[in-house]
Structure 1
């Protein structure tokens, strides 16, 4: 969550700069539906902002500005309003609210549901026409890609999201859903067996400690809809304050997280405060934060005391994390292996995978280059390493074309490990890649990570930098190009470029253990950018980097040499490795958008 706090400090300054572009005038920010991290924005009761002649939509406009401006950075998939849009449900209030929502129409998918203040609260969803239905009914959402449909009465809606490589269902249910409405909701879930979030106005309330309990209406929803539908894992409601949460077990014994979100009792009626649910399917977590964009946008020096104390809420019902194993709760079919022909084209300089029939890991065994360029690898163990130093494995990254890998059990001396090298006359040995290149590899570090494996190599071109006439780096005896892992498990890409005596070195964050990672070095003929799981790392130097200063010696997988000697082998798994003679976009990387 510290990233959010740091961003806010910067955002607060930028938003008060007169020259800053308006979010409203900017093009809609991109949403990446394949990124394993995405956010769901939750907006509770805004009724005091649309209250007869005291209405003030400014806070909600600023919230919408924020969501549009930050959609790409936070990968915001959807916004759900929890009802009580207005105070009295009059045509005047509803129309003003509808006009305010036009700011995000067509730019951010969203849902709205009726609270008891938006309609005649004494009736259920069979109440018939209303000012609310005319403005926030199905016709408003018909052109939204996420809109799946509405119940015949128009007061309940369903929305399908594509996020993190999965499909998600959001049900936006009326304040008082009828039996007909419940039957409709059940039919939607029967037709779409995907992870489901139920949003409604009245489902649970909380005591002063934040412990939530089902309300009378909530118990009805639990008994008739939620309990027996295992695909529902999260419910969100407003109406009551204070906010709170609890976890209930459904008929299958699985968790359903029940959350209350409502801040209308706070300063300025809650000031259109939002809650962001950050889904992280790579870490199996949902991180939750609550803040007020309207106050965030103010100059910190000019914020009033009430604005300053309400800008962010940090209690354990407003800012928290949930552990949630999505793959265990909602298993998905894993992709089948892809043949080499699907990932090789005329630009492919080399491609190795370890699922070929009869593949051996014995010394002298060959791993064929499937690019057709003739850069075949030969297996060699270092010094007196045992057969167990290199073995075949069925472990693989979910996005890897081949469902196989090599398990390396290398370590620091005496020369423990194994390497795979190209032959002395392989074209790759002298390739310079002056026009750019992309080097990709799938890597997994063991859990637990035992022993000292500092500076172990993943892959490299053999050869002394000094022999290539390069003297700008740490040592003339190190190779001209290598991908390594430091003692802190930071990924290090070391390059001596062919043009000029440059030694730009990239550094990643600490790589996790026990999890497959896709690594990619992309060079456009001018500089190198390293990506981990499709995300650009921070420490990419701006130094020029044109070509690779190869000296005709072998390309190596499984270690990095020093002074042409190998003193340490790789420890972990290495899957498919591909080298392309041009810069690729992340969408063209081997995982094809799958990074979990």
Structure 2
């Protein structure tokens, strides 16, 4: 296939000739760069999705293939990926029924006939899933700045909260009838992606952390600007938001990207999934709207928010309190299971895998108005979404059934004009 640099030239310039252009190193001051966005990878590394458990193929190979593609196309390897943002739910299962911290605060579990088997604690988290996650991200070590944040599945425990038990009968049209899950404990996550891990300790681009690395900040330089990235834990509490605000004050004037797992649904609403509403279960946690109100809208440096968690895609733009635009982008492909169907997997429930899909956000800084070209690419099918004729037939019914095929395709292939970027950052970020 074409190199990543030639692929992005095709995306930005629309030139078919560029498909055969060899990649060249990205030089300081180059006007184009890409952020690779990795949505929820839990179904790739899920121990039940491996041949050792009788599954049709080793789904974790799809994860390794995705990470190798990124590693092969970072700037230091001659491509144009300048930063990588992992959006959480790195693995699938948990090791505890409830974490000691929440138990000490009086939280209790409720029986859940539908979900208890799925979220039963298992040692295969530490023997299969976490090692696979580590192996995948090791492919990026020493090659590119990156961020990994904890999603709800990455916590040590995830239980049905006794205050929100399941209904007597499950209604597929109302997910709240399943009861409400609540996550707790981050020892597992910190053991792999904590601030003392080999991934981040003493790295000059890893500039700040909080709660052992559950929240962390990075700086990268690309397109003639220095960018600040802040990653927040799931339904971040006030302590995390206060820390993030302090990081922004420490690096004044830098264009800032914030990533978090749970922020926006596929209709573009800043609301939690009713199955796992952190603030409802624990008032110490902030809802997505609260995070907007307390942090995102209050700091003019933040111009872009990235999130996963909700199955599908969405994008919205809102003015912050200074009147400047904040672009908020959802991408989560974990529920896509065409690869399982291709392999002949039979199931009463759809088998989510991910099918290799990820986001490539290419920043073209050459014009008076910078433009971000958002594309969706599968490292398994080795195609962009717009070059996949079956795309809508495969996925639309589960993600955006109300859209036409053409409108659905556009949800994974669009441009964002950064109309006020120069005004906000030219004097402070170069």
Give the TM-score category using the shorter length: 0.5 to 0.7
The residue aligned with 2:135 is 99
The residue aligned with 1:69 is 72
The residue aligned with 1:253 is 323
Give the match's secondary structure for 2:134.
helix
Q: 1:125 to 1:169 in 2, by over 3 A?
A: farther
The residue aligned with 2:10 is 3
Write the distance in 1 (CA, Å) between the matches of 2:364 and 2:45. 35
1:2 Cα offset (Å)? 7.6
Deviations 1:9-43 (A, max 9, x none): 769xx9xxxxxxxxxxxxxx955342121111101
The counterpart of 1:147, out of the listed 186, 206, 212, is: 206
Write the distance in 2 (CA, Å) between the matches of 1:236 and 1:152. 21
Note the 1:281-430 alignment, pairs <5 A. 281-283=365-367, 284-296=370-382, 315-325=409-419, 326-332=421-427
1:328 Cα offset (Å)? 1.5
Note the 1:35-74 alignment, pairs <5 A. 35-55=30-50, 56-72=59-75, 74=79
2:145 paired with 1:109: yes
The residue aligned with 1:181 is 240
Deviations 1:217-251 (A, max 9, x none): 21011011111111111111000022111111111
TM-score w.r.t. the length of structure 2 is: 0.65
1:121 Cα offset (Å)? 4.8
Write the distance in 1 (CA, Å) between the matches of 2:356 and 2:248. 31
Q: 1:125 to 1:221 in 2, by over 3 A?
A: farther
2:358 paired with 1:278: no
Write the distance in 2 (CA, Å) between the matches of 1:94 and 1:287. 33
The counterpart of 1:165, out of the listed 220, 224, 229, is: 224
Write the distance in 1 (CA, Å) between the matches of 2:391 and 2:312. 18
Give the match's secondary structure for 1:294.
coil
The counterpart of 1:135, out of the listed 174, 181, 192, is: 192
Q: 1:308 to 1:185 in 2, by over 3 A?
A: same
Q: Which runs of 4+ in 1 moved over 3 A?
A: 4-11, 29-33, 120-129, 303-310
The residue aligned with 2:90 is 85
Structure 2, unaligned runs of 5 or more: 1-7, 51-58, 95-124, 162-180, 273-286, 340-352, 396-405
Write the distance in 1 (CA, Å) between the matches of 2:158 and 2:215. 15
1:8 Cα offset (Å)? 9.9
The residue aligned with 1:343 is none
Write the distance in 1 (CA, Å) between the matches of 2:150 and 2:258. 14
Give the match's secondary structure for 1:104.
coil
TM-score w.r.t. the length of structure 1 is: 0.48
Structure ranking higher in helix proportion: 2
Structure 1, unaligned runs of 5 or more: 15-28, 298-302, 335-593
The residue aligned with 2:107 is none
Once superposed, what is the RMSD of the aligned Cα atoms? Answer: 3.4
- State whether residues 30 and 71 of structure 1, in contact with CA within 8 Å, keep that contact through their aligned partners in structure 2: no
Write the distance in 1 (CA, Å) between the matches of 2:303 and 2:49. 38
The residue aligned with 2:269 is 213
Note the 1:519-530 alignment, pairs <5 A. none
- State whether residues 286 and 324 of structure 1, in contact with CA within 8 Å, keep that contact through their aligned partners in structure 2: yes
2:296 paired with 1:226: yes
Larger radius of gyration: 1
Write the distance in 2 (CA, Å) between the matches of 1:40 and 1:121. 31
Deviations 1:93-120 (A, max 9, x none): 1122112221111122211110011113
Q: 1:330 to 1:306 in 2, by over 3 A?
A: closer
Write the distance in 2 (CA, Å) between the matches of 1:198 and 1:76. 18
Structure ranking higher in strand proportion: 1
- State whether residues 242 and 262 of structure 1, in contact with CA within 8 Å, keep that contact through their aligned partners in structure 2: yes
Aligned length: 310
Give the match's secondary structure for 1:295.
coil
- State whether residues 42 and 80 of structure 1, in contact with CA within 8 Å, keep that contact through their aligned partners in structure 2: yes
1:307 Cα offset (Å)? 12
The residue aligned with 2:258 is 198
